[in-house]
């Protein structure tokens, strides 16, 4: 089962959508395949080919034994084994042998074989996501990352401390995800597989009524036989079946029907397996663990604190505690020892475990510092107590309260830190919560009428299902409207505040809210293919990706802990030797201790005040919050690299069509030269133009519909003798009137006089880079239409605001010079490059970079993709093409130009937080360590007890996370709030 599962594809770089149309045009995201077949056979006549991944071969002798074993089978025409790439290619005759038999033969020869897709080498990058439990600081994440990068076959590995997850890109022909999990476990951390790809849909089903393993096998075989099922994985302990399948072929309701029809009299029942094990549930469990540990530590630490610090000043209790049992051993010392021991070894066990794992990997972390500090205090105290028990004169002075209070404060700090870290990923949790729990499934008869409706779990929706959406309900799936009309609030996905009108044929996005009318929608993308799932994956990937500035913290973390250990030991040694050789006055030593104990306290304080965590959390927590805030504003930022580059941008290159302009022709003005009602005029014009396929004709018909808004699909008067004149216009007889719609030359050809007024209107229209269309009714020019690709609302204001932000704007377009300069003049752009091919756009970006600019490219089309890739930051307009969106670093989902400013401003605010975090984290360590080492003690007598040093260390991590969390209050620049970007005004 495992080998078959391994053959399934993970995230692939190649991407397509399903062939259903229409489909949502946004949110525009990296697209993924629907699913990849586990077998690829190219049959020529009766011959077939199969390619296997063969693991375990070490030399040519291994390859030879595999080849011989396969060639012994009947029906094998040829077998070639490549030991370097761990692959075997077999040509065979399917009537004699099949792929499964060949695979089993290779395994019988002693090697692990997996059937793979032919041609996988062309797109052999797969991705798996893994949760890693037990990481405490940057040193831990760096250790895991280095271990992963050292594995042959791993192309890229990212380990995020803030999310406690790893994203690994690997070659499935060389490596399996199980080997990746083992490598992480070998470094001493717990690895849990979250996903092995997104190119297939997955679902878990809980089976009720299964009593024997044989029953489970029967169910498994029944499911395996279903077309479109890619893998079936069984967990018999909880009666769970996990299935990976092709959503365009089958779906979860089919699985449930198969399971419930298997066996006798409906003995088996299947339901969706309860959700669990996700990031949020793990976070909640971690919070509970730290909370419980902290409470238990308080149970023991509070009495130790009272005995050490309070009761010693109460005469009666002090006398009882000072009562000697053996020699100088007192009852108080015994009580402190007994109470602090569970804190040190049971509650503090996590620090020993973490230290062992870290030291085993040669990368000491924060756990090592805590374990060394608390052990030094605890074991010195044990030595002191035992010596007092064996000596009639030695009076012990123990530090049991130091070790127990230190552990308690660190646990409190970790609890607060995990609590705060959980809030940094709230954006993902909110996105996931958008999906509704249930949906109303409609059954249609042969005539398309609704025959029945049923409420189902929304996870059971399959492709092509018809779903009913009532007013106020969330839309359960991506799809398109097949009946009804309403307004849909899409702000939760796109950030666009205004409800969007929806009628038959319009696309809808799962998770958005239907506001008024009832809609019937046909599901087109379900499960992992949905827009919501893709946004969640993009935000998760963005939060995984490290910003370049984080390399600074990673470099420091390698040397931080060893350096602190050396400083701590040096501090103890310096104070100890100074005391031994009377380097300072004896009056400096507190009455309750000697010079050795004073030196030990300084050494322990240095060890526990140092905080590598604060440095490690400075960047990722800010990036997590920043990308989450961006997603809620409709700005999808694909990781720390894009976020870091955007704040430096000082030059933006804009494409024209679809970026600065709407991207499709619209009627922007109508001038009538005769006394005629506008509705009647457009009825005649639309009747003539409705038969034409020309984009300008479609724009006229679309505009004419505005005068017939009372009808869903208006019917125009019949046009007779219709004639389309290529490059000029159309002619037709409508309601016994001759209607000619076209350019000036068409009128002249038909000997229709053009008045001076019409000539002036045409000249004025062309001067504004618009297309003038003349309309003649009964051989008289009756009106002039101006058609143009209008500017997006607020384009001029956005360019003006960018200038005030000291960002230069340039326009690059493939359009002609006249139109380009007219548009540039209108928006306020001074530098224009027209008639540019796609490669010229990329070259211009490179020229600007060579001149010292940090360049952002904003585009929407396929022709913008080269420039988007070359630019320091590529920004894709959300309604643009899939290829442009793939190439971009930032996706502007609302397609509003104002979001260019939002993206840059959010990046600047995020990096202000990152700098603030670094100043705090570095400043804390640079100031805290000398103070803990006793730098102020000679002059002021001030010293930092170890338990206070531990509390300060815990507080530093929390403060860094809280500083990042303040980004959640991000507001767009006030200039944008005051900018009233309304709809496009059409005369």
List the catalytic residues: 655
From residue 248, alpha-carbon distances to 33, 83, 501, 864 in Å are 11, 37, 29, 32
Contact 27, 535 (CB under 8 A): yes
- Closest by CA to 501, choosing from 669, 716, 694, 706, is 706
| Torsion sign, CA atoms 798, 802, 807, 809 | positive
Rounded CA gap, 381 and 344, in Å? 12
- Closest by CA to 117, choosing from 203, 14, 247, 222, is 14
Contact 905, 972 (CB under 8 A): yes
Q: What single string gives the DSSP state of each residue in 656-713?
A: IIIIIB-SS-EEEEEEESSS--HHHHHHHHHHHHTT---HHHHHHHHHHGGGGTT-SS
Q: What single string gives the DSSP state of each residue in 308-346?
A: IIIGGGSHHHHHHHT-EEETTEEHHHHHHHHHHHHIIII
Rounded CA gap, 864 and 841, in Å? 7
Residue 952, sorted as left (phi over 0), alpha (psi -120 to 50) or beta, turns out to be alpha
- Closest by CA to 872, choosing from 893, 902, 897, 851, is 851
Tokens of 136: 């405490």
- Closest by CA to 636, choosing from 966, 881, 878, is 878
Bridge partners (DSSP) listed for residue 732 = 739
Tokens of 320: 């009882």
Rounded CA gap, 63 and 67, in Å? 6
Count of beta carbons in the 10 Å neighbourhood of residue 499: 17
- Closest by CA to 785, choosing from 657, 666, 684, 677, is 666
Rounded CA gap, 556 and 237, in Å? 45
Bridge partners (DSSP) listed for residue 240 = 206, 235
Beta strands in 869-981 (DSSP E): 873-877, 890-892
- Closest by CA to 653, choosing from 547, 502, 808, is 808
Rounded CA gap, 839 and 308, in Å? 76
What is the C-alpha radius of gyration for the chain, rounded to an integer number of angstroms? 36
Q: Is the peptide bond before 133 cis (omega within 30 degrees of 0)?
A: no
798 CB burial (10 A radius; 0-12, 13-18, 19+): buried
> Token pair 């389309």 is at which residue?
724
Contact 199, 33 (CB under 8 A): yes
Residues 6 or more apart whose CB falls under 8 angstroms from that of 355 comprise: 364, 365, 367, 368, 370, 371, 372
Rounded CA gap, 74 and 84, in Å? 27
Tokens of 471: 């007013």
From residue 717, alpha-carbon distances to 103, 454, 679, 735, 885 in Å are 68, 43, 13, 7, 42
Q: What single string gives the DSSP state of each residue in 507-543?
A: EE-TT-EE-SS-EEEEEEE-GGGSHHHHHHHHHHHHH
Which helix (H) or strand (E) segment holds residue 116: the answer is: strand 112-116
Rounded CA gap, 125 and 171, in Å? 5
Residues 6 or more apart whose CB falls under 8 angstroms from that of 31 comprise: 15, 16, 17, 534, 882, 886
Tokens of 266: 């409906």
């Amino acid at each position: 089962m495992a080998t078959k599962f391994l053959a399934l594809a993970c995230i692939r770089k190649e991407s397509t959508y399903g062939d259903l149309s229409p489909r949502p045009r946004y949110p525009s995201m990296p697209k993924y395949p629907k699913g990849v077949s586990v077998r690829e056979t190219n049959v020529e006549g009766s011959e077939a080919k199969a390619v296997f991944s063969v693991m375990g071969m070490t030399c040519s002798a291994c390859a030879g034994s595999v080849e011989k074993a396969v060639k012994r089978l009947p029906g094998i025409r040829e077998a070639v084994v490549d030991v370097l790439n761990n692959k075997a290619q077999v040509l065979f005759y399917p009537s004699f042998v099949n792929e499964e038999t060949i695979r089993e033969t290779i395994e019988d020869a002693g090697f692990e074989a997996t059937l793979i897709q032919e041609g996988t080498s062309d797109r052999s990058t797969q991705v798996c996501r893994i949760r890693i439990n037990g990481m405490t600081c940057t040193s831990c994440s760096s250790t895991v990352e280095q271990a992963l990068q050292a594995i042959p076959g791993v192309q890229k590995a990212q380990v995020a401390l803030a999310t406690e997850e790893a994203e690994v890109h690997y070659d499935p022909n060389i490596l399996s995800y199980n080997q990746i999990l083992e490598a992480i476990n070998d470094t001493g951390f717990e690895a849990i597989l979250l996903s092995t790809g997104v190119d297939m849909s997955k679902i878990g089903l809980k089976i009720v009524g299964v009593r024997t393993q044989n029953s489970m096998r029967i169910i498994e075989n029944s499911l395996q036989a279903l077309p479109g099922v890619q893998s079936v994985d069984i967990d018999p302990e909880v009666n769970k079946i996990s299935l990976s399948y092709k959503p365009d072929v089958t779906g979860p309701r089919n699985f449930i029907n198969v399971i419930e029809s298997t066996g006798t009299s409906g003995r088996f029942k299947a339901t969706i397996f309860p959700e669990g094990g996700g990031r949020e549930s793990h976070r909640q469990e971690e919070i509970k663990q730290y909370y419980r540990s902290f409470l238990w530590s308080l149970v023991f630490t509070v009495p130790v604190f009272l005995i050490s610090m309070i009761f010693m000043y109460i005469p009666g209790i002090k006398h009882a505690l000072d009562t000697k049992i053996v020699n100088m051993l007192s009852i108080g010392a015994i009580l402190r020892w007994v109470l602090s021991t569970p804190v040190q070894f049971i509650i503090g066990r996590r620090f020993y475990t973490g230290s062992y794992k870290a030291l085993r990997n040669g990368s000491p972390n924060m756990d090592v510092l805590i374990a060394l500090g608390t052990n030094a205090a605890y074991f010195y105290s044990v030595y002191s107590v035992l010596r007092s028990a064996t000596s009639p004169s030695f009076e012990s002075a123990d530090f049991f309260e130091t070790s127990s209070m230190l552990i308690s404060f660190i646990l409190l700090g970790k609890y607060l830190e995990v609590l705060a870290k959980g809030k940094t990923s709230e954006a993902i949790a909110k996105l996931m919560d958008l999906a509704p729990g249930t949906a109303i499934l409609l059954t249609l008869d042969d005539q398309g009428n609704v025959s029945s409706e049923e409420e189902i779990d929304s996870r059971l929706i399959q492709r092509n299902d018809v779903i009913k959406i009532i007013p106020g309900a969330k839309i359960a799936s991506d799809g398109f409207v097949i009946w009804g009309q309403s307004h849909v609030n899409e702000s939760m996905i796109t950030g666009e505040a205004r409800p969007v009108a929806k009628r038959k044929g319009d696309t809808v996005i799962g998770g958005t809210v239907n506001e008024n009318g009832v809609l019937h929608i046909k599901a087109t993308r379900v499960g992992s293919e949905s827009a919501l799932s893709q946004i969640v994956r993009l935000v998760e990937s963005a939060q995984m990706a490290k910003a370049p500035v984080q390399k600074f913290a990673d470099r420091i973390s390698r040397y931080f802990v060893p350096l602190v250990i050396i400083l701590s030991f040096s501090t103890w040694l310096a104070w100890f030797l100074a005391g031994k050789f009377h380097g300072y006055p004896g009056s400096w030593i507190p009455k309750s201790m000697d010079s050795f104990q004073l030196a030990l306290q300084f050494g322990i304080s240095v060890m526990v005040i140092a905080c590598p965590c604060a440095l490690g959390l400075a960047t990722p927590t800010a990036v997590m919050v920043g990308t989450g805030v961006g997603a809620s504003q409709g700005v999808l930022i694909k990781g720390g690299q894009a976020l870091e580059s955007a704040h430096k941008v000082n030059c933006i290159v804009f494409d024209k069509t679809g970026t600065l302009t709407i991207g499709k022709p619209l009627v922007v003005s109508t001038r009538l030269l005769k006394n005629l009602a506008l509705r009647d005029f457009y009825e005649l014009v639309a009747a003539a133009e409705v038969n034409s396929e020309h984009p300008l004709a479609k724009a006229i018909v679309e505009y004419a519909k505005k005068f017939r808004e009372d009808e869903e699909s208006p019917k125009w008067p019949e046009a007779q003798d219709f004639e389309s004149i290529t490059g000029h216009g159309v002619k037709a007889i409508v309601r016994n009137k001759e209607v000619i719609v076209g350019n000036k030359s068409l009128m002249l050809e038909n000997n229709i006089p053009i008045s001076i007024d019409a000539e002036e209107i045409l000249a004025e229209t062309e001067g504004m880079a618009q297309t003038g269309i003349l309309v003649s009714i009964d051989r008289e020019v009756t009106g002039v239409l101006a058609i143009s690709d209008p500017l997006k609302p607020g384009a001029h204001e956005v360019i003006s605001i960018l200038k005030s932000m000291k960002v230069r704007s340039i326009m690059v377009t493939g359009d002609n010079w006249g139109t380009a300069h007219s548009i540039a003049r209108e928006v306020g752009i001074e530098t224009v490059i027209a008639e540019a091919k796609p490669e010229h756009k990329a070259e211009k970006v490179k020229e600007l970079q060579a001149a010292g600019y940090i360049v952002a490219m904003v585009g929407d089309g396929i022709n913008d993709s080269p420039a988007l890739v070359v630019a320091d930051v590529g920004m894709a307009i959300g309604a643009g093409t899939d290829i442009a969106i793939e190439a971009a670093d930032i996706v502007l989902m609302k397609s509003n130009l104002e979001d260019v400013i939002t993206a840059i401003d959010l990046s600047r605010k995020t990096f202000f937080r990152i700098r603030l975090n670094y100043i705090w984290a570095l400043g804390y360590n640079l100031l805290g360590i000398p103070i803990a080492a006793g730098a102020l003690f000679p002059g002021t007598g001030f010293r930092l007890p170890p338990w206070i040093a531990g509390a300060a260390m815990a507080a530093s991590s929390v403060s860094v996370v809280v500083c990042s969390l303040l980004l959640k209050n991000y507001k767009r620049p006030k200039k944008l709030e005051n900018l009233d970007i309304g709809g496009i005004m059409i005369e």
